[in-house]
Amino acid sequence: MSGDGVSSSSGDAGAGTSTGTSTGTSAGTAGAEPVPARILVVDDDPTVAEVVTGYLRRAGYAVESVADGPAALARAAAFRPDLVVLDLMLPGLDGLEVCRRLRAAGPVPVIMLTARGDEDDRIAGLERGADDYVTKPFSPRELVLRVSSVLRRAAAAGAASAPGQGGAAAPRLTAAGITLDPTTHRAAQDGRELALTVREFDLLAHFLRHPGQAHGREELMREVWGWDFGDLSTVTVHVRRLRAKVEEDPGRPKLIQTVWGVGYRFEPGEAAAA
């Protein structure tokens, strides 16, 4: 099936994917069936909404769909989804504002759908808290795979941060006048606090942990953000924005250097974990 913003895909929906069981609490009785993960689809294009909803349901998820921003916020409060598939262009409230309000209310994962080709729109969605994005037209089967991937990452992050795990606090990282504390999620350079987005913070932490090493953009997507696929220009933009915050002259970077034909390397001079 194909429609505006959705490319055709052969085969049954969800083929090759795991069933959409919930990443939250499991059923309380022994032998009970796992609870399907709840997905809220927000798109004002009825064709896109119908195709996406159908594929996700056949993949084993419990899915509801709404067509505008205010309805998305109201339904999310009642439905309490495990993940939201959110179109960028919506009536009432646009997807960026809906995403901001959803993430302000709680850590629900968001995959943003966008028909725009401008990378600034995609980055704006990620900076508002979106966990991934898909550019229209897209394959519904690919979207199912991305939903599964984001839910797995969310479950792993929740397990790692759950009380009673017994893990020690992550050590502070220091290099080139930069101090980064993963526990408090704060970073400073020469005593000046750095206003970093979540993804900029994670990228800087990765560089500080691996000084002098060259990293390809695909590696950074996978190791820093856990993305198995996506637009590599997203990494380029995040590096550019991070340079603007930590480099004395972003146009001639000394800390985050470009390694031609490879990617990037962090050169602090002397790096250490405090």
Residues 222-236: pLDDT tens digits? 888 777 666 677 788
Give residue 235's pLDDT. Answer: 86
Give residue 20's pLDDT. Answer: 67
* Residue 208 vs residue 224, higher pLDDT: 208
- By CB atoms closer than 10 A (0-12, 13-18, 19+), residue 81 is buried
Mean pLDDT of the chain: 81
- Residues 266 and 35: their CA atoms lie apart, in Å, by 44
- By CB atoms closer than 10 A (0-12, 13-18, 19+), residue 27 is exposed
User: What's this model's pTM, rounded to 2 decimal places?
Assistant: 0.65
Give residue 152's pLDDT. Answer: 81
Of 194, 221, 224, which is closest to residue 207 (Cα–Cα)? 224
Give residue 219's pLDDT. Answer: 93
pLDDT beyond 80 at 253: yes
pLDDT beyond 70 at 254: yes
- Residues 100 and 29: their CA atoms lie apart, in Å, by 36
List pLDDT tens digits, range 11-22. 443 444 445 665
pLDDT beyond 60 at 241: yes
Lowest-pLDDT range, 26-40, 42-56, 93-107? 26-40
